[in-house]
């Protein structure tokens, strides 16, 4: 399964590796190798990393803590103390090193350092009173993202993941309704095209 990096923050993207949390959760990080691949695909993290089982479990624990804290922010309630402890302890470790060269920024470090960096970026966004955290508007998608759009008008975690799916479903529903109406003899409605969305 492809990973989505649409939340605007690596810690929120990590939290988003469990899909449909309230209905039938799907964990896209089923094994340490999945986490290694996720780190490589995440732009802000090192190009290569090795995950052993204890560190993989720490990553999952950081992920669940981050999700809980982000949900606390979305619901405007106090942070869960146990989750705060996890994110704060993880952030206290060493972070990856960064180097500048003609090819750009190069980041390196082991998985523990990667988790520290993810925890720090999570703390930065959770502590920012101006950060607009939202849950995706598609029913069933529980992804939480940082809305940086002008006027904070973004509704979906991502257009490919959710926005287009919702719009396509609404379009199909309208077409069905129209077909039914035509079947009952109205026959005068203008066809609706996707461009109207």
Contact positions vs Zn ion (CB under 5 A): 136, 138, 141, 143, 157, 162
Residue 151 Ramachandran class (φ > 0 left, ψ -120 to 50 alpha, else beta): left
Residue 166 CB, nearest approach to Zn ion (Å)? 9
Residue 126 CB, nearest approach to Zn ion (Å)? 20
The rounded radius of gyration (Å) of the Cα atoms in the chain is 21
Q: Which CB sits closer to Zn ion, 138 or 154? A: 138
Q: How is residue 68 written in tokens?
A: 């809980």
Question: CA-to-CA distance for 46 and 68, rounded, in angstroms?
Answer: 26
Residue 141 CB, nearest approach to Zn ion (Å)? 3
C-alpha distances (whole Å) from 131 to each of 61, 73, 128, 137, 176 are 23, 10, 5, 18, 40
Residue 1 CB, nearest approach to Zn ion (Å)? 15
Are 60 and 118 spatial neighbours (Cβ–Cβ below 8 Å)? no
Under DSSP, the state recorded for 76 is: T
Are 146 and 125 spatial neighbours (Cβ–Cβ below 8 Å)? yes
Q: 55, exposed or middle or buried, with CB in 10 Å at 0-12, 13-18, 19+?
A: middle
Q: Which CB sits closer to Zn ion, 107 or 155? A: 155
Q: Which CB sits closer to Zn ion, 120 or 134? A: 134
Residue 120 CB, nearest approach to Zn ion (Å)? 25
Q: Which CB sits closer to Zn ion, 87 or 141? A: 141
Q: Which CB sits closer to Zn ion, 94 or 137? A: 137
Residue 65 CB, nearest approach to Zn ion (Å)? 21
Q: Which CB sits closer to Zn ion, 10 or 46? A: 10
């Amino acid at each position: 399964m492809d990973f989505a990096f649409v939340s605007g923050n690596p810690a929120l993207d990590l939290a988003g590796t469990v899909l449909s949390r309230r209905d039938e959760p799907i964990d896209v990080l089923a094994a340490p190798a999945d986490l290694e691949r996720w780190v490589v695909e995440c732009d802000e993290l090192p190009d290569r990393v090795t995950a052993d089982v204890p560190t993989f479990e720490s990553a999952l624990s950081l992920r669940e803590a981050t999700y809980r804290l982000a949900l606390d922010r979305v619901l405007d309630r106090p942070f869960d103390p146990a989750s705060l402890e996890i994110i704060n302890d993880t952030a206290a470790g060493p972070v990856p090193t960064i180097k500048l060269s003609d090819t750009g920024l190069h980041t390196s470090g082991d998985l523990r350092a990667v988790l520290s960096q993810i925890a720090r970026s999570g703390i930065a966004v959770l502590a920012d009173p101006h950060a607009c955290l939202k849950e995706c508007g598609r029913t069933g998608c529980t992804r939480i993202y940082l809305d940086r759009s002008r006027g904070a008008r973004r509704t979906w975690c991502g257009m490919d993941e959710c926005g287009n799916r919702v719009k396509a479903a609404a379009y199909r529903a309208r077409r069905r309704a129209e077909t039914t109406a035509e079947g009952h003899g109205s026959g005068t409605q203008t066809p609706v095209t996707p461009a109207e969305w």
